[in-house]
Structure 1
Amino acid sequence: MEVILREAIPNLGQAGDIVKVADGYARNYLLPKGKAIIANRKNLAALEKERQIILAKAERERQKLASVAERLEGLVLTIAQRVAEENRLYGSVSAQEIVNALKEHGIEISRRQVMLREPIKHLGEFEVPIKLGGATMANIKVVVVAQE
């Protein structure tokens, strides 16, 4: 089935693209959620009008993500943890703890946006990538210190 995407979908296409997908994927997910419309003559004609609106919306979203990325780039998070022997932590610093620390700085992101390969288990400085959406990425510095 051919559909017109109304928003960017990872590994499928950008807003306004005409893509071929499985019938079930279109009927059960894309169409009910409003993420796509069926590609017929009527909708293709309407697409040209709607394309400008979609592109303007995508540009606003990109600018919003770029401003959040700019705020994140210079940010240094300091997280205090209990320490055992040889600078190893009793627990670990997980993505959720990074999200909570970012909330204290007024930045709301989800745990899934924190691209932490594995929990941090040592004291020190770590670069943690944050995926904001689309191709927008930002790196923050997380400093893990011993809790007093």
Structure 2
Amino acid sequence: MEIILLQDVERLGSKDDIVEVKGGYARNFLIPTQKAIVATESAKKVLAENIKQRAHKEAKLKEEATKIAEQIVAKKISIGAKTSTSGKIFGSVNTIQLAEAINKKGFEIDRKQITIPEDSIKEVGTHTAKIKLHKEVVVEIEFEVVAE
């Protein structure tokens, strides 16, 4: 029996795949649990149209993410932190402070999109971080931690 998967099924396929399975497996498990539907001609046409529309949306999102990446790289980002006389920071600078500094520059970046190679920064200076704007667009930015 030919079916269209509505979600990822382990050892069978991923969402929107058309796969061949035994009739009992489809009728007794996949279809009742809404993991799949029967692959009729009309269902295949609907699937093809959905895939086409999703590809168009994905291309648009990727293009927007690329534009934002170019703008973020051009900005100079600095974060103020209280420091000792030796240049050590009281506490640390992490993704939360970096996200706030980027958002003040006019971008909407969530802290979960930012990764810092070290878990947290404890010294004044220039550091790098990666921002994942899209699953295919990851930009590396430099930011400076300065003493307040």
TM range (shorter): 0.7 to 0.9
Distance 2:4 2:50 in 1: 17
Equivalent residue for 1:8?
A: none
Superposed counterparts of 1:3-42, under 5 Å: 3-4=5-6, 17-18=16-17, 38-42=36-40
Equivalent residue for 1:51?
A: 51
Equivalent residue for 2:10?
A: none
Equivalent residue for 1:34?
A: none
- Tell which deviates more after alignment, 93-102 or 45-54: 45-54
Equivalent residue for 1:67?
A: 67
> Would you say the 8 A contact 1:74–1:140 is kept in 2?
no
Distance 1:70 1:82 in 2: 31
- Call closer, same or farther: CA 1:110–1:144 in 2, change over 3 Å: same
SS in structure 2 at match of 1:99: helix
Distance 1:97 1:128 in 2: 12
* Alpha-carbon shift at residue 44 of structure 1 (Å): 2.3
Superposed counterparts of 1:67-146, under 5 Å: 67-117=67-117, 118-146=119-147
TM-score (norm 2): 0.73
Give % identity: 20
Distance 2:116 2:110 in 1: 13
* Alpha-carbon shift at residue 142 of structure 1 (Å): 1.1
SS in structure 1 at match of 2:116: coil
TM-score (norm 1): 0.73
Structure 1, unaligned stretches of length 5 or more? Answer: 6-11, 32-36
Structure 2 residue identity aligned to 1:38: A
* Alpha-carbon shift at residue 80 of structure 1 (Å): 1.1
Structure 2, unaligned stretches of length 5 or more? Answer: 8-12, 20-28
> Would you say the 8 A contact 1:75–1:141 is kept in 2?
no
> Would you say the 8 A contact 1:92–1:120 is kept in 2?
yes
- Tell which deviates more after alignment, 116-125 or 47-56: 47-56
Per-residue CA deviations over 1:42-92 (Å, capped at 9, x if unaligned) read: 432311222221111111111111111111122221111111142110111
Q: How many residues align?
A: 127
Distance 2:88 2:105 in 1: 27
> Would you say the 8 A contact 1:76–1:140 is kept in 2?
no
